[in-house]
Amino acid sequence: MRALICKDFAPYKNLTVEEAPEPPLGEGMVMLDVKAAGVNFPDILLVEGKYQMKPPTPFVPGMEAAGVISALGDKVQGVKDGDRVIAATMLGAFAEKVPVHFSQVVPMPESMSFEEGAALTTIYGTSYHALKDRAQLKEGETVLVLGAAGGVGIATVQLAKAMGAKVIAAASSEEKLQFCRDNGADETINYTTEDLKVRAKELSGGKGVDVVYDPVGGDFAEPALRATGWNGRYLVIGFASGPIPKIPLNLALLNSRNIQGVFWGAWAGQNPRANAQNLKDIFDFYEAGKIKPQVSASYKLEDYAKAFEDLLERRVKGKVVLTP
């Protein structure tokens, strides 16, 4: 089978597409013929040795895939050959085949394409866990989303609206902000031309926003935290801009603010039943037409570098996928 191989932790352009032996199928595992695999910012961090986990090399990156089950190991339950499924793989998705434990696959709705399926698990799982479990978002509250036109950003815009919140989307261009409005944002802020804190306070009627969803970090983190009101919740998702911000802790004391980390992958591993319920909720939102994964581009496996570059340069509106 063809696979994208990381031989050593190094810049992503050092990855190679090679013929690799088909991985063995252990007890409880299913073999997934990958039709599309989602590309996420942590994939880049992982191959460059900058992520929270460091798998032994060589390895095949790729955290999520959609495809068709082609073989079953012993003691597999609830799925069969030929099923169309989404899988949370953590590793291995950037290949023609990947073995996955049966507990990590979810049947796809018939109306969902493989590209949509590959764009759903990580970003919607992360965003829903952040809003539901960490922020405990309530109907009628206001959510400020940074990097709102990106993968997790647009998922958060859609999910927050589905949960009954008012959504303020912040992004760097009018084109991206229109994309956010098309996906349900009530208000928008161009943080290259507007003062993020001042405008967010204005759009929240002067009281400050209830929740900030921040996958960007860098220079926008502190003004976003300052834009929260009493009992505001600032969700730390990641640092797509590069620099990790240093936040003055007195800002947490003021207005009784909460700074909350969100590490969905680790939480899902420790709370499989709660995560399964979250995924069910996400599929229910999809079937009801309240969310729809946005795939801006699909690339062949050999063109992985272009997909990674689009993500790093923030040219992506929604998600990019690889099609092995």
pLDDT tens-place string over residues 192-239: 999 999 999 999 999 999 999 999 999 999 999 999 999 999 999 988
Q: Domains (ranges, CATH) in the chain?
A: 2-118+294-323 (3.90.180.10), 123-265 (3.40.50.720)
The kind and range of the H/E element at 295 are strand 295-300
Cα–Cα separations (whole angstroms), residue 159 to 37, 72, 97, 142 = 22, 34, 31, 13
pLDDT tens-place string over residues 63-94: 999 999 999 999 999 999 999 999 989 899 99
Render 58-114 in DSSP notation, one character per residue: SB---SEEEEEEEEE-TT--S--TT-EEEEE-SS--SBSEEEEEGGGEEEPPTT--H
**pLDDT higher than 90, residue 4:** yes
pLDDT at 91: 94
Q: pTM of the full predicted structure?
A: 0.87
pLDDT at 269: 84
Whole-number average pLDDT of the chain: 94
Distance CA 250, CA 154 (A): 31
pLDDT at 241: 79
pLDDT at 63: 93
pLDDT tens-place string over residues 247-257: 999 999 989 99
